[in-house]
Structure 1
Amino acid sequence: MQPSIRHLRMFHTLAMTHSVTRTAELCHVSQPAVTQAMNKLERDAGQPLFRRSSQGIFPTPAGEAMSRRAARALAYLDAAMADMARAVRFQATRPQLAALIAVTEYENFTLAARQLGLAQPTVHRSASMLEQSAGVQLFERTAHGLIATRLARQLAQAARLAFAEMDQAEAELAALAGREAGRIVIGALPLSRSSLLPAAMLRFRELRPGLPIEVVDGRYDELLSALRRGEIDFLIGALRDPAPVGDVEQERLLDDQVALVARPGHPALSLPEPTLADLAQYPWVVSPPGTPIRAAVEDLLPEERITGAIVTSSLILMRETLRKSDHLGALSRLQALAEAEAGSMDILPLDVPESCRPIGITTRSGWEPTAVQRQFIDLLRDEAERLT
């Protein structure tokens, strides 16, 4: 299902007014246009969205789910369109908004067209028509290319979130029809990949063997941006204190500490009570600046040891570097325990003071998960409780 913005607006208005006549008036279309649009939406949904009675037209349970998502999607768009001509609310199309997103991201019509799989003139025409109906400038043409205006960036972000809402609507309607649709997209920070997330995924796979799960790895700032754009459903990993931006929410699942690790047989492991001075004699592999583990290690080691360290966010690279040398490293304790169980690393018997940090889930503020997404998050909560 990929309903047009105009059809979505008609649908939500009809769900609120229960009248084709009133919907036609409010949406500035004919009554037959409303009827045809609703018939198309029901065909695409594969199930009735309205029930007709002498008292009016009322949404079915599937229609109520669709209306709730439509209201959220339109709220994003209307807020971004507040400073634009009113016509854009009824004239903007999904292809035009998709073109806006791509051009805003790539700042080039040719690259945007390639990303969308369309001809460059098609994308240019879509962006121009959207700009015309909005009555405001969306792009500034410079010698270095296109620069999206503030209003363009706001509308592109709103369109991303509106599209995400409609993807969730499709999944909810499929569930009501006894089918599965959509997928779960998770932004995974390093800790979650070693214990918490795999266990939850395996349990979820037993419950829903056919639903796709996509795990996206990356740096925290990259995953946070993707979350805010609606490209991933939630993040799992170390929480930030305070939350990095005001439009996300964090839920603590458990606490973890930093552990110092070495290859099996490392000379430091033979010391009965190794000290920080002992460990500072060896080369190190450390996390990138700005990460909680890096902050903990910086408090432990001399500056010159940090300066000369190998910096990586890759567990595989750390594991192989430690395995083939006398380098030392730092991981979350849950990660370190998983590596130790696999025999690839040993944990050094030295506590890292003040390294306790909360691990949990980060979502967009106001995000409303589908039943399937909520089920997955409940499994994460269960696994976190088991680990504590």
Structure 2
Amino acid sequence: MDLAPLLRKLRAVQAVAAAGSTVDAAQGLHASQSSVVRAVRDAEAALGAALFERSSRGMVPTAVGRLVAQRVARALELIAQADAHATRAPRSPWPALAWQRSRLASGIGHRHVRTFLALVDGGSESRASQALGVSQSAVHQTLAQAEHLAGEPLFYRARAGLRLNDAGQALLKAVKLMLAELAHAADDIASAQGTMRGRAVIGTLPFSTGLFVPRALDRVLASHPDLEVTVVDGTYATLLHQLRYAEIDVIVGALRDPPPADDVRQETLFDDRLAVVARRGHPLAGRAPLRLRDLARRAWVLPMPGTPAQAAFDQAFAAEGLAAPQERLRVNSTMMMQALLYDSDRVALMSPRHLEREIAAGLLTVLPVVVQHAPRLIGMTTRADYLPPPGMRVLLDSLRAAAREVGTAGQPAPALARGDWYKQSA
């Protein structure tokens, strides 16, 4: 169910929920009562659910109505926050209608949203008109309306086409977050009607998700077959951008210290301790406990710069008063790193938890090397104001439960329990 085309009608629904009657909502929206009544009825018909209980004393939202009103209020507030010309003082006596301080939030419609996104994707009015199947003059007129609501241009205009300016970039982020809220509203409605469904997108970071993410996904999908889950991987910078623009719902992997931005929230699931890993039969595998200085001249496969794994690598060598090796080979893929280890005498600093099966199968081994570093924190990163729909709440809880099974904070990794090859720095 796509609620975005109902944006104008949902604005009326949210106003009625806040004001308690169509009369007061109409006054707050500066619209006729009949148009508000019609918008509410149309929304109820489209959603297939009653949104209000009507009586002589007014209109009270049903359970579904409260869910819808909450999501719509959040969606419109996101647009208001992106409006640099919004007034500071609310224009409505009802706090839930605070978005009315923004002309952009009060007036934006689905046509504006579709046209704006088509212009962003196409980079010109002609390509946007082709994508939307409307005339170029219609695109131009809708863009002019959107910029009037925003109170300023949204694009730089040049012979090469259109490019977002700062105001346009802020609106793009707000629009994507708004559309995510409306999509979550559809999931809320389905759950209230007895069906757990929806789509969740998980971003995973290399070298840190181990077995707990697949375990969590298997359990959720087995118990909730109508949920759709997509897993994507990438660099932290790429996934963080996607998270902030609502293209993914959660990042699972090594957390950053300090957090990268005020608009994200990190939740620690467990501590992850790294060890020196090599292929089965490596020349150092049968040696007595080693120090990192014994491996300083060895060929390494290094993590990517700026990652928690690289920080741990640098800390470990610094703890022994050594300069970290400056290897030319850096890898951001677990499979590629494992392949490099299988076929050479290279070594790498990796998580035994992440390689549990490979170590158990005898493909890789943990070398008896003392490694001192502050353990990486493995967890989940979401948007700070994220209100997950029911299906996503189930998935997040499943990730927490699976993480508890592979190790809680402060406990050694299973592969290291047999020896004192790891030391946590103070």
Tell me the TM-score normalized by structure 1.
Answer: 0.90
- SS of corresponding position for 1:236: strand
- Tell me the equivalent position of 1:328: 347
Please tell me whether the aligned partners of residues 309 and 376 of structure 2 are also in contact (alpha carbons under 8 angstroms). Answer: no
1:367 aligns with 2:383: no
- Percent identical: 34
The separation in 1 between residues aligned to 2:362 and 2:146, in whole angstroms, is 58
Deviation at 1:160, TM superposition (A): 1.3
Q: Which runs of 5+ in 2 are unaligned?
A: 88-101, 408-426
Residue deviations 1:288-341 (CA, integer Å, cap 9, x gap): 100111222234567684242x21111111111111222212222311334312
Residue deviations 1:161-215 (CA, integer Å, cap 9, x gap): 1111111111010111122332111111124542121111112122212211111
- Tell me the equivalent position of 1:255: 271
- Tell me the equivalent position of 1:140: 156
Aligned length: 386
- SS of corresponding position for 1:214: strand
- SS of corresponding position for 2:201: strand
- Tell me the equivalent position of 2:214: 198
Please tell me whether the aligned partners of residues 187 and 223 of structure 1 are also in contact (alpha carbons under 8 angstroms). Answer: yes
1:58 aligns with 2:44: no
Please tell me whether the aligned partners of residues 196 and 390 of structure 2 are also in contact (alpha carbons under 8 angstroms). Answer: no
- Tell me the equivalent position of 2:370: 351
Q: Judging changes above 3 Å, is the alpha-carbon distance between structure 1 residues 124 and 306 closer, same or farther for their aligned structure 2 residues?
A: farther
Deviation at 1:68, TM superposition (A): 0.9
Deviates more, 1:52-61 or 1:334-343: 334-343
The separation in 2 between residues aligned to 1:328 and 1:216, in whole angstroms, is 27
Q: Judging changes above 3 Å, is the alpha-carbon distance between structure 1 residues 127 and 52 closer, same or farther for their aligned structure 2 residues?
A: same
Q: Which amino acid aligns with 1:215?
A: V
Tell me the TM-score normalized by structure 2.
Answer: 0.83
1:166 aligns with 2:152: no
Q: Give the RMSD, CA atoms, in angstroms.
A: 2.5
The separation in 2 between residues aligned to 1:32 and 1:45, in whole angstroms, is 20
The separation in 2 between residues aligned to 1:298 and 1:18, in whole angstroms, is 61
The separation in 1 between residues aligned to 2:211 and 2:135, in whole angstroms, is 46
Please tell me whether the aligned partners of residues 5 and 90 of structure 1 are also in contact (alpha carbons under 8 angstroms). Answer: no
Please tell me whether the aligned partners of residues 80 and 86 of structure 2 are also in contact (alpha carbons under 8 angstroms). Answer: no
Residue deviations 1:243-274 (CA, integer Å, cap 9, x gap): 01111111111101112111111112132233
Q: Which amino acid aligns with 1:382?
A: A
Residue 227 (structure 1) aligned to one of 239, 243, 247:
243
The separation in 1 between residues aligned to 2:349 and 2:124, in whole angstroms, is 42
Q: Which runs of 5+ in 1 are unaligned?
A: none
The separation in 2 between residues aligned to 1:123 and 1:303, in whole angstroms, is 59
Please tell me whether the aligned partners of residues 2 and 166 of structure 1 are also in contact (alpha carbons under 8 angstroms). Answer: yes
Give the 5 Å matches for 1:117-136. Answer: 121=136, 123-136=139-152
- Tell me the equivalent position of 1:43: 45
- SS of corresponding position for 1:66: helix
The separation in 2 between residues aligned to 1:150 and 1:293, in whole angstroms, is 34
The separation in 1 between residues aligned to 2:268 and 2:122, in whole angstroms, is 36
Residue 23 (structure 1) aligned to one of 9, 22, 25:
25
